[in-house]
Amino acid sequence: MLVNAADMLKDAEAGHYALGAFNTNNLEWTLSILKAAEETKSPLIIQCTGGAAKWMGSFKVCADMVKACIDALNITVPVALHLDHGTYEQCLACIEAGFTSIMYDGSHEETFQINLDRTKELVELAHSKGLSIEAEVGGIGGTEDGVTSNGELADPAQCKQIADLGVDFLACGIGNIHGVYPADWAGLSFERLAEIKAEVGDLPLVLHGGTGIPVDQIQKAISMGVAKINVNTDLQLVFAAATREYIEAGKDQQGKGYDPRKLLKPGRDAIVERTKELMEEFGSVNKA
């Protein structure tokens, strides 16, 4: 069942658990993530960046694929299809393509006022069409989809201004970064998280860059109001490791081991297992 993400995240915030928002890249990722959600009875957010949509052909290809996979696997848990780090134009394209949720990332706009104005416009548009919408204040460190940010601690007053526009959930930098964390990473700023939470009330917060944050920090963040945790790199790493193991064992050169259904299966299975582990860590198991 394809739904928007507003209610599932409100429930998560109130229930002190979080939902993983897992990025899809292709059919393998989509099927694996859906399978993990169904097997653990976890509500799911499956999301796609503009870059991944380009790889798949278009946002429409992604939306149609996700819908068809939900039907084919008889998925009963609620699933939201969300745009990750969208530009203004990508938000419009996803509304058209049949997504049920969008993220407008205005943190890279020239001024905060532009972020504010465009978020306001897109909140009204998304809600008029039944979609949920995420906004962002303060860049998330690291590089995602070719966009690099130094990572800052989001300004709580700006978070409040964006929250008041009626966004359904909000991404805000609290020391988190995209990609693999450097060895000297300082950790999440719980002080800043508490300051932001005090300003935005029960609005669900989003933690980007969920790969490699120690579990105790993840769970503390959840207890303080983080209800959506974005996971992209983590699944890429387990897929790559399983595929590497298959190739290095020479299995692609044995029999018909070169068949893509054999070659991609270890990676596909690894995504299912890792996604289930993360759902366990986030507390979303049996919440569907």
Q: Provide, rounded to whole angstroms, the least separation between the CB of residue 268 and Zn ion.
A: 24
| 230 burial type by CB count under 10 A (0-12 exposed, 13-18 middle, 19+ buried) | buried
Stretch of residues binding Zn ion (CB under 5 A), selected from 45-53, 92-100, 206-214, 272-280: 206-214
Q: Provide, rounded to whole angstroms, the least separation between the CB of residue 253 and Zn ion.
A: 38
**Looking at beta carbons only, is 181 or 246 nearer to Zn ion?**
181
Closest residue by beta carbon to Zn ion: 208
DSSP state of 264: S
Contact 166, 123 (CB under 8 A): yes
Contacts with 196 (C-beta within 8 Å, 6 or more apart), sequence order: 154, 156, 159, 172, 174, 205
Active-site residue, 84 included: yes
Exactly one of 82, 192, 208, 274 binds Zn ion (CB under 5 A); that residue is 208
**Looking at beta carbons only, is 35 or 208 nearer to Zn ion?**
208
CB burial readout 254-273, b (16+ within 10 A) else e: eeeeeeeeebbebbbebbbe
Stretch of residues binding Zn ion (CB under 5 A), selected from 24-32, 56-64, 205-213, 269-277: 205-213
Q: Provide, rounded to whole angstroms, the least separation between the CB of residue 71 and Zn ion.
A: 29
CA angle (88, 108, 106) in 5-degree steps: 40
Stretch of residues binding Zn ion (CB under 5 A), selected from 53-61, 89-97, 204-212, 250-258: 204-212
Instruction: For residue 228, state whether it binds Zn ion (rule: CB under 5 A).
Output: no
**Looking at beta carbons only, is 40 or 107 nearer to Zn ion?**
107
Q: Provide, rounded to whole angstroms, the least separation between the CB of residue 144 and Zn ion.
A: 5
> Measured over all CA atoms, what is the biggest interatomic distance in the chain, rounded to whole angstroms?
62
Q: Provide, rounded to whole angstroms, the least separation between the CB of residue 262 and Zn ion.
A: 33
Compute φ and ψ for 245, nearest 5 degrees: -60, -40
**By rule CB under 5 A, what count of residues binds Zn ion?**
1
Stretch of residues binding Zn ion (CB under 5 A), selected from 23-31, 68-76, 145-153, 201-209: 201-209
**Looking at beta carbons only, is 197 or 208 nearer to Zn ion?**
208
DSSP string, 60-90: HHHHHHHHHHHHHTT--S-EEEEESSB-HHH
The number of beta carbons lying within 10 Å of the beta carbon of residue 248 is 9
Six-digit token string for 209: 């860059």
**Looking at beta carbons only, is 192 or 208 nearer to Zn ion?**
208
Among residues 7, 71, 84, 164, the one annotated as catalytic is: 84
Contact 136, 105 (CB under 8 A): yes
Catalytic residue IDs: 84
- The site for Zn ion (CB under 5 A) is made up of 208
